[in-house]
Amino acid sequence: MRRILIVGNWKMNKTATEAAAFVHNVARRLPASPTVEYVLAPPFTAIESVRATLGSSSTIQLGAQNLFWEDRGAYTGEISAPMLKDLGCRYVIIGHSERRTLFGEREDAIQKKLHAAFTHELRPILCIGESLLQREEGKTEEVLRQQLHGALAGHSLHSVTALTIAYEPVWAIGTGKAATTDQAVAAHRTIRAFLAQMWSTDVAEATRILYGGSVTPHNIDTLLRSDQIDGALIGGACLQADAFVTIADIAQSIGARQ
């Protein structure tokens, strides 16, 4: 049984002060749930204030939006896995399409970042997804398989047990045009088939696959009803406390029914 995972990716939004106010408002409205996990991924500069506001017994876990693969050294502007661990992060987003397109992140970098996350026992959330053109050309499956292969080749079976994959079609991110449940389910099946082929059916069945791209309180219910969609990676809607709490409530009611 895969536990539902709801991840808020704040991207480059909220100062440390704004982040603390948000979390103060939201944390007490999210009851612990055996069937749903919550993660917030603030900008690096707000991780500490979110941690301090949440305290040690919170139902919300911390994630980061990126990392660098070396542990320390002359890498101006970068943040390492041990630094994130020390701040209390449990998860880290890797290979987000904004990193790929705006910052030129390539597969070899993504592979090394995954390795660093596994080594330091951070749980990576690997993002993959096709562009609109690729979808229109009927290349979605091929692109997903290429991205999975590029990121995961060379990783051991032992390390992938901590892996989560987020299917985020580029055309759905921040556009208000979410994939339909059928489109998401088809992509998730492709991803699971790849994992089964690369490692085993057990790994494929155990790995959580999230959907991301214009998820809102209005469409989360339909998406999570599919047993192929194990949660969501959410941008814009997670910046508003009420929307985040509504999404969490819906996830809980679906989790309780499963």
Contacts with ligand 13P, residue ranges (CB under 6 A): 9, 96, 168, 173-174, 212-215, 233-237
What is the set of active-site residues? 96, 168
Shortest reach from residue 258's CB to ligand 13P, in Å = 23
* Other Cβ atoms closer than 10 A to 79: 17
Residue 3 carries which DSSP code? Answer: P
Shortest reach from residue 152's CB to ligand 13P, in Å = 19
Shortest reach from residue 196's CB to ligand 13P, in Å = 25
CA-CA distance, 7 to 238, in Å (whole number)? 8
Instruction: Let me know: does 239 contact 10? Beta carbons within 8 Å.
Output: yes
Is the CB of 173 or the CB of 248 nearer to ligand 13P? 173
Shortest reach from residue 58's CB to ligand 13P, in Å = 21
Is the CB of 43 or the CB of 236 nearer to ligand 13P? 236
Element (H, E) at 64: strand 60-64
Is the CB of 51 or the CB of 96 nearer to ligand 13P? 96
Instruction: Let me know: does 184 contact 140? Beta carbons within 8 Å.
Output: no
| DSSP-derived 3-state class of residue 66 | coil
CA-CA distance, 146 to 127, in Å (whole number)? 13
CA-CA distance, 114 to 171, in Å (whole number)? 25
Return the residue nearest ligand 13P (CB atom): 235
Tokens coding 88? 């209390």
CA-CA distance, 257 to 246, in Å (whole number)? 17
Is the CB of 50 or the CB of 178 nearer to ligand 13P? 178
